[in-house]
Amino acid sequence: MSYTLGIERGSRPGSHTKACMKPITTTEALAAFCAEAAKRPYVTVDTEFLRERTYYSKLCLLQLAYPGDHGPEGAGADAVLVDPLAEGLSLDPVYALFRNPDVVKVFHAARQDLEIFAVEAGVIPHPLFDTQVAAMVCGFGEQAGYETLVRKIARADLDKSSRFTDWSRRPLTEAQASYALADVTHLRVIYEHLVAQLDKTGRHGWLDEEMAVLENPATYHTDPDEAWQKVKTRTHSPRFLAIVRELARFRETYAQTRNIPRSRVYKDDALVELASTKPMNEADLGRSRLLLREARRGDIAEGILAAVKAGVEAPNETLPRPEKPRASLQVNPALADLLRVLLKARCEAEGVAQKLIATASELDAIAAGERDLPSLKGWRKAVFGAEALALCEGRLALAARGNDVVTIPL
């Protein structure tokens, strides 16, 4: 995808900001802003939310900005706050803007923001641009945090004093409003710089592959039937895992239905304990060391006992058959070390963050013979995967040449 800037070369969008410190509280005002934003090539987006007491994030504030207005004085604000808690306000104009294929939606570290819109309205902004991912593609290192990019690209400092405030309280303070607006005004400068870098390197295709994952609705849906796979256990007995599966399924369904954190039902360590002790009645639950008091009676207790029973009685043909844990793979340690050297050399040569290409566990898996891995597919294969396979198959050697590591085909 081609990301166009649509502003004068050499201009700094942040310097033309006409920000509105007072949040938009009516659908009419929001529609007017979105109508103006729809005329621009991109809009920057951020959110403030709370999640400590709920399963799903509670949207408390929405920030939007489009390229700085070069029109006459008195033209409308190009950066606004939107109060989704305001009575009677509908976010439909924003969702229409999110669906507009002619306007790029720019986020930083978009995943949590996108989950809010996917869950609340079934909307995922498209086309999408995540500056955190783009920064790693453009050589800004492993930790391409927003504050780092603001400092290095926008040449500005952020006031972080409002970062951990309660965004559901009204009215917002001036400090909160200023902090929230900075998250979308500086983002314009960052976006335009990164697009220019992608233009130079021809790496738009790399970013498109990453955005496809973020634009996939399945990314934001936790299936209760699959929740057990995120529970870390030391035991891999199929029967034990069947009980873990049923306990995780009940917990996820219960938490989603009541919109409470899954840890409020029971935490992972309690779940594993229950799968080990296999309680049959409430008296057994009362002997648990890790189960919350509220979970030892009532709906949660009944759900736990039913889940344990279902796991214990599950037919053999339905038991989970997990893949072989990577920790038990027969890893060639020397080959794994060579792969690490190759990865470091290729990432330094290409100016891309290592963690965007492959994790340490993936390198071990490659050294153990696994081939169905992200690092061996798509743009990652072109940058690293093809040479990694050649190294594993004895078709490539590594050599030191001054301060560099070079590859030698065999």
**Domain presence at residue 7:** no
**Final residue belonging to a domain, choices 318, 335, 362:** 318
Q: Rounded to an integer, what distance in angstroms lies between the CA atom of residue 237 and that of residue 13?
A: 58
261 and 170 co-located in one domain: no
254 and 126 co-located in one domain: no
Helix axes 238-258, 268-277, angle to 10 degrees: 140
**Domain presence at residue 97:** yes
Residue type, 82: V
Question: Which residues neighbour 213 within 8 Å (Cβ) at sequence distance 6 or greater?
Answer: 219
355 is in which domain, residue-wise? 326-409
**Final residue belonging to a domain, choices 284, 318, 352:** 318
* pLDDT of the residue at 324: 56
Q: Rounded to an integer, what distance in angstroms lies between the CA atom of residue 180 and that of residue 23?
A: 11
* pLDDT of the residue at 329: 66
215 and 239 co-located in one domain: no
**Final residue belonging to a domain, choices 299, 318, 337:** 318
54 and 171 co-located in one domain: yes
CATH of the domain at 216: 3.30.420.10
* pLDDT of the residue at 10: 37
The helix (run of H) or strand (run of E) holding residue 64 is strand 58-65
Cross-strand partners of 43? 105
171 and 44 co-located in one domain: yes
38 and 106 co-located in one domain: yes
Average pLDDT, 10 consecutive residues per value, the chain (410 residues): 46 57 95 97 97 95 85 62 98 98 97 96 97 94 86 89 87 94 95 96 93 94 94 92 98 97 96 97 95 94 98 96 62 93 94 93 93 94 96 94 90
Per residue, what are the HEC states of 293-355? HHHHCHHHHHHHHHHHHHHHHCCHHHCCCCCCCHHHCCCCHHHHHHHHHHHHHHHHHHCCCHH
* pLDDT of the residue at 380: 95
